[in-house]
């Protein structure tokens, strides 16, 4: 790729979605196309043509801002994202990565971790928020470590959780003057089709919330992510960089969330929108997205053990599930797990990370201690 200076700003949004169930086919249709989009295929929604992953990456390499939609805790989507990041970085290493799963008020912690001033275990503990659960963090680890190893700046894009929660409960008008001033000045509660789509998801959330407040909280996230990314790109550190933004699919659909709000902050820029896929039946068209990349639903992979919660800083087996891989390789209560593929098992996140990396057929090497004896076994996580 040639230097981005002078390149017309284009935000190309990649949606990575789910089918209804593995083996049940895709529920995603494209207007004017007879067959549903099948899993693991990239689809150009403008031309209604399939692309290979390499062809998609070549297209993305021509743009300055790439927005990748996702299901936050989907391992395969994150492997694809990392592959895209590595390819784009190889062609043009001036890059910034913006992530929805980190809030703006976590930026200092994030910067210190990227510089190596905060230990991994401390970072994992302190960084958890309403989106970044242990399961989500584990699938983000390869991307985060790649960014740190390659000195790629990472921005926490999202609004502070206490403010989002207050808006969802009480509405924007209940924010104090100080709270309101900490959010973007221009918060546009629309368009109507976006409001209808967001409110439709309200029954899936716990507790009772006013539909307008629920939508307002979604828009607060959208506007904050757009403003944070735009502010960086307009500053001296971002003018020559390519930006890759990773956020949930619902913030990308039809451009109503982050894309159009980001474009509004870059006058004259061109934004091509991609629609993320969900597990629910949906019909896409050329207005919805540039590209769609369908994935099978993620499946939890398990070893088949429960750990002793009374033991800190170690994984000690409390019980073994009948018929599990743990039973097959001979694990017993009281065994202390030491290493998995050479990685120290000091907590569940380390175990989760190994389960998330590689494909479902990957063979792992487990080292554990029984009494004073160390043992080694090979196994595969079972779905």
- Per-residue pLDDT tens digits for 325-376: 899 999 999 999 999 888 888 777 667 666 655 555 678 899 999 999 999 9
φ/ψ region of 243 (left if φ > 0, alpha if ψ in -120 to 50, else beta) reads beta
d(CA 88, CA 92): 6
- Is the pTM higher than 0.85? no
**Domains assigned to the chain:** 10-295 (3.40.50.11550), 305-379 (2.30.42.10)
- pLDDT tops 80 at residue 182: yes
Q: On the CB side of 190, how many CA atoms lie within 13 Å of its CA?
A: 4
Between 176 and 340, name the one with better pLDDT: 176
d(CA 61, CA 76): 21
d(CA 39, CA 28): 10
Instruction: Return the top range by mean pLDDT from 1-10, 97-106, 252-261, 303-312.
Output: 97-106
d(CA 98, CA 64): 13
d(CA 192, CA 186): 17
Output the furthest CA–CA distance in the chain (Å, rounded): 69
Helix (H) or strand (E) holding 28: strand 28-30
Residue pLDDT, tens place only, 62-114: 899 999 998 888 888 888 899 999 999 999 999 999 999 999 999 999 999 99
- pLDDT tops 60 at residue 298: yes
- pLDDT tops 90 at residue 287: no
CA nearest 136: which of 100, 87, 88, 98? Answer: 100
d(CA 172, CA 362): 49
CA dihedral 228, 14, 130, 261 (to 10 degrees): 40
Instruction: Tell me how crowded residue 182 is: count the other CB atoms within 10 A of its CB.
Output: 15
Residue 205 pLDDT: 73
Given a contact cutoff of 8 angstroms between Cβ atoms, the answer to whether 334 and 369 are in contact is: no
Residue 195 pLDDT: 95
- pLDDT bucket at 20, cuts 50 / 70 / 90: very low
- pLDDT bucket at 299, cuts 50 / 70 / 90: low
Residue 49 pLDDT: 86
Residue pLDDT, tens place only, 230-272: 999 999 999 889 999 999 988 988 889 999 999 999 864 544 5
Given a contact cutoff of 8 angstroms between Cβ atoms, the answer to whether 76 and 299 are in contact is: no
Residues 6 or more apart whose Cβ sits within 8 Å of residue 356? 75, 78, 138, 139, 141, 142
- How buried is 199 (Cβ within 10 angstroms: 0-12 exposed, 13-18 middle, 19+ buried)? middle
- pLDDT tops 90 at residue 132: no
3-state DSSP assignment of residue 70: strand
Given a contact cutoff of 8 angstroms between Cβ atoms, the answer to whether 147 and 138 are in contact is: no
Given a contact cutoff of 8 angstroms between Cβ atoms, the answer to whether 209 and 202 are in contact is: yes
Residues 6 or more apart whose Cβ sits within 8 Å of residue 151? none
d(CA 252, CA 265): 16
Whole-angstrom CA distances from 197 to 5, 200, 253, 351, 377 are 37, 5, 10, 37, 49
Given a contact cutoff of 8 angstroms between Cβ atoms, the answer to whether 357 and 325 are in contact is: no
């Amino acid at each position: 790729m040639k230097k981005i200076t002078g390149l017309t700003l284009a935000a190309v949004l990649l949606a990575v979605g789910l089918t209804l169930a593995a083996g049940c086919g895709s529920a995603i249709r494209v207007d004017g196309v007879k067959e549903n989009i099948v899993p693991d295929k990239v689809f150009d929604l403008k031309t209604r043509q399939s692309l290979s992953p390499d062809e998609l990456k070549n297209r993305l390499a021509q743009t300055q801002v790439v927005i990748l939609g996702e299901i936050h805790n989907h391992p395969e989507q994150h492997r694809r994202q990392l592959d895209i990041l590595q390819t784009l970085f190889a062609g043009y290493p001036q890059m910034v990565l913006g992530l929805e799963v980190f809030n703006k008020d976590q930026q200092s912690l994030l910067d210190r971790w990227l510089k190596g001033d905060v230990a991994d275990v401390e970072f994992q503990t302190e960084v958890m928020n309403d989106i970044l659960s242990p399961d989500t963090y584990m699938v983000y680890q390869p991307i985060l470590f790649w960014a740190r190893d390659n000195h790629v700046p990472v921005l926490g894009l999202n609004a502070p959780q206490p403010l989002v929660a207050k808006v969802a409960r009480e509405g924007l008008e209940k924010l104090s003057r100080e709270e309101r001033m900490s959010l973007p000045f221009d918060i546009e509660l629309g368009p109507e089709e976006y409001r209808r789509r967001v409110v439709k998801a309200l029954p899936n959330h716990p507790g009772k919330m006013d539909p307008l407040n629920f939508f307002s909280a979604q828009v607060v996230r959208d506007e904050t992510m757009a403003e944070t990314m735009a502010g960086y790109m307009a500053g001296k550190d971002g003018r020559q960089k390519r930006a890759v933004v990773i956020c949930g699919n619902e913030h990308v659909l039809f451009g109503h969330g982050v894309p159009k709000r980001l474009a509004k902050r870059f006058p004259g820029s061109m934004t091509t929108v991609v629609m993320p896929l969900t597990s629910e039946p949906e019909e896409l068209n050329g207005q919805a997205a540039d590209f769609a990349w369908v994935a099978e639903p993620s499946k939890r992979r398990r070893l088949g053990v429960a750990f002793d919660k009374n033991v800190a800083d170690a994984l000690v087996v409390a019980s073994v599930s009948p018929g599990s891989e743990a039973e097959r390789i001979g694990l017993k209560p009281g065994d202390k797990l030491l290493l998995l593929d050479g990685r120290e098992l000091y907590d569940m996140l380390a175990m989760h990370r190994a389960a998330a990396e590689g494909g479902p057929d990957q063979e792992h090497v487990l080292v554990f201690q029984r009494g004073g004896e160390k043992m080694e076994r090979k196994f595969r996580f079972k779905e």
